[in-house]
Amino acid sequence: MSDVQWPWQYNFPPFFTLQPNEETRKKQLEAWRDLVLEYHKKTKTCIIDIQEADNTALFFNPAISRKLSPEGINAVLEVLYKNGNAEPIDKTKIRWYIYWHTLAEWADIFYQHAQENGLINSVCTLYELVNTPDKEFTGLSEEIVIKILERLQKDEKAELILTEDTSGVKFF
Amino acid sequence: MDRFEYCSFELSPDESPVLKHSNVRLYDGENKSQFQRGELILTSHRLFWQKDITLCLALSYIQNAVEEAKSMFNLTAGRKIILYLSKAVPGKNLGPSATSAYDYVKLSFREGIQNEFLDALKSTVDAKIWTVQNKSAQQTKLREIKTRTGIVGIERNIVEKQKETSSNINNAFKDLNQLMSMAKEMVEISKNISNKIINRQGEITEDDSIEITVYLLVLSIEDPVTRTSCKNEDDYYQALGNELIAALIEPLTSAGGTMLLTDAYCRINRARGLELLSPEDLLNSCLALDKLPDSPIYLKTYSSGVKVLQLKSCEDASFVEKTYEIVSQNVFVTVEQFSRLASVSLVIAKHRLLLAETHGKLCRDQSIEGLRFYENKFLLEEN
């Protein structure tokens, strides 16, 4: 948590009010997007629950007692979604996946990792993959990893092996 | 003797008895009168003689009182006091004789005279207590007249009421006349003061009284435009428009270029004093401002529906700059603070802030602490 580099905006009260001026709002939401991605990257979390989000340090700054409103959070998520950095988990749009790398970027990262570590044409479990030390994807949630590998599978660069007990992947 | 009146022995409330003397005979000058062996009573106001009937003499008649020297030939006769009297006052009550050849009466004391009587009489006459009571006596007289009945009495009452009313009216209008003459003086004075202030404009301090006078000076319109002085409605509104420009250009400038229409309404009507404008007339004349060539002010309607008069020379951009300047000197401002800092009304203050926001110079912070405006760092930090 302490690793999060809070930008100057985080201590600027208007940051927590959705700005009516379009140009200003654009800049504000850009800042929010950067902050949300930075925050999730540092905390290695991938999910925002709108109903709980306003109590997290991300959207609530107790030092200046300002909180981003639910409308504001939705607006931020909307921007993230447009850039491929977020995706609603279901149709209720209450829980969202946050991708600090877009899925395409992640796919590249995994494939590169496989190439560099001679994993091509061999099978490894997702558990192994996620627990590789000192990688950006270390500790990444399994749901997200499956989403990334599904993408690779589409490009025919990998094949997911999903059974009831184990889940593994084979890179090509 | 004609100064005496018939009366009953009743003292008025302020009257007090002084002395009594029995067995006294009255003389009309040198002649004996039928009034003998009576009792003489001296009060603070009158001298009573009482036996079967009562006579009284107001002490105000008595000019002098002396004891008569004893006659050599009539040693048996009682001692006498001579009272020298002034002329009978007309309108007195009936007395024992209508006329008298003498200007004095004598009081004859058969049984000799008490030594202190003459002194007491003299001092009572000198004290003139009756003059003090004169007024109340007159009033009781008036009251007596009022109580008279009959047609004459009623008529007299009516006449008196009329007199009273007319005198009241006269008094009232006397006040009014005074006020008018005072008003002229007041106008003179105010003109003098205004000239003095105009001459000394450079030296005006922050003294409130001077400030107020300056405000008052802004107020006078000498010949207000009226509907009757114009041919038709359009002329009227245009003439009013010109009057508005003349009267409001100065306060508008000092107020920073914007004035609420409601404020303008108050100002113009205060300036006119009489011949007040209706809100419709003001609005129509403001709309007519556009038709006037080179009108320096115009009517502007904010998005909130609020109408203001604005100087044409003041463009939005200049307002935005000024607003930004004030905000940047503070960390943030609320609408109230800004209204104070820029000395404009709340409505205008809010409008200015929103204007600066839409121009991207400010951004807002809406929280439970209220609405605040900050410098727009989102856009400024970028550059």
Domain ranges of chain A: 8-98, 103-171
Instruction: Report the alpha-carbon distance of residue B134 to residue B173 in Å, rounded.
Output: 32
B102 exposure class (CB count in 10 Å sphere: 0-12, 13-18, 19+): middle
B356, B276: one domain = no
Q: Domain containing B119: what range?
A: 5-130
Q: What is the spatial distance between Cα B305 and Cα B229, in angstroms, rounded to a whole number?
A: 33
Same domain, B32 and B110: yes
- What is the structure's pLDDT at B205? 53
Q: At what angle do helices B316-329 and B346-358 cross, to 10 degrees?
A: 100
Least confident of A61-70, B85-94, B327-336: B85-94
Residue B192 lies in a domain: no
Check if B376 contacts A (Cβ < 8 Å).
yes
Do the Cβ atoms of A138 and A128 come closer than 8 Å?
A: no
Residue B227 lies in a domain: no
How far does Cα A78 stand from its chain's mean position? 14
Classified by CATH at the fold level, domain A103-171 comes out as Arc Repressor Mutant, subunit A (1.10.10)
Does one domain contain both B277 and B368?
no
CA distances from B51 to B8, B249, B250 (A): 11, 97, 95
| Rounded CA separation B204/B276 (Å) | 32
pTM of the model: 0.53
Same domain, B304 and B326: no
CATH of the domain at B280: 1.10.10.10
List of long-range contacts for B238-242, beta carbons under 8 Å, 24+ apart: B238/B285, B238/B288, B238/B291, B238/B292, B240/B277, B240/B281, B240/B282, B240/B284, B240/B285, B240/B288, B241/B285, B241/B286, B241/B288, B241/B289, B241/B291, B241/B292, B241/B295, B242/B292
Assess if residue B255 is contained within a domain. Answer: yes
* Chain B residue with Cα closest to A64: B367
ipTM: 0.78
CATH of domain A8-98: 1.10.10.570
Interchain contact, A8 vs B381, CB within 8 Å = yes
Residue of chain A minimizing CA distance to B373: A14
User: Within this chain, do residues B271 and B361 fall inside the same structural domain, yes or no?
Assistant: no
Statement to judge: residues B266 and B346 lie in one domain: no
Which residue from B191, B322, B204 is spatially nearest to B255, judged by alpha carbons?
A: B322
Asked whether the predicted pLDDT for residue B316 surpasses 70, the reply is yes
* Residue A43 pLDDT > 50: yes
A45 touches chain B (CB under 8 A): no
Q: Check CB contact of A17 with chain B, cutoff 8 Å.
A: yes
Domains A8-98 and A103-171 share a fold: yes
Examine the domain organization and report whether B320 and B250 are in the same domain: no
Helix (H, G, I), strand (E, B) or coil at B383: coil
Identify whether B151 is part of a domain.
no
Q: Does B372 touch chain A (CB under 8 A)?
A: yes
Same domain, B278 and B332: no
Most A-contacting residue of B354, B377, B380, B382 (CB-CB within 10 A), to test interface: B377
**Percentage with pLDDT > 70 across chain B:** 81
Name which residue leads in pLDDT, B54 or B193.
B54
Provide the 10 A C-beta neighbour count for residue A107: 22
B259 close to B309: Cβ distance less than 8 angstroms: yes
Q: Does A19 touch chain B (CB under 8 A)?
A: yes
- Residue B379 touches partner A, C-beta closer than 8 Å: yes
Band (pLDDT 50/70/90 cuts) for residue A1 is very low
Whether A52 has a pLDDT exceeding 60, the answer reads: yes
Do the chains contact at A19 and B378, CB–CB below 8 Å? yes
Same domain assignment for residues B285 and B304 = yes
* B364/A14 CB distance under 8 A: yes
Is residue B92 predicted with pLDDT exceeding 50?
A: yes
Q: Which of B269, B289, B311 is the last residue of a domain?
A: B311
How many other C-beta atoms can be found within 10 angstroms of the C-beta atom of residue A34? Answer: 12
Structure letter (DSSP) for residue A45: -
Confidence of residue B373 (pLDDT cuts 50, 70, 90): very high
Tell me the CATH number at B99. Answer: 2.30.29.30
Euclidean distance between CA atoms A134 and A6, whole angstroms: 23
Residues in B touching A20 (Cβ below 8 Å): 357, 364
Which chain B residues in 332-361 lie under 8 Å from chain A, judged by CB atoms?
332, 357-358, 360
In a shared domain, residues B11 and B123 = yes
> What is the domain count for chain B?
3
Point out the domain boundary residue: B97, B130, B163. Answer: B130
Residues B258 and B329 in one domain: no
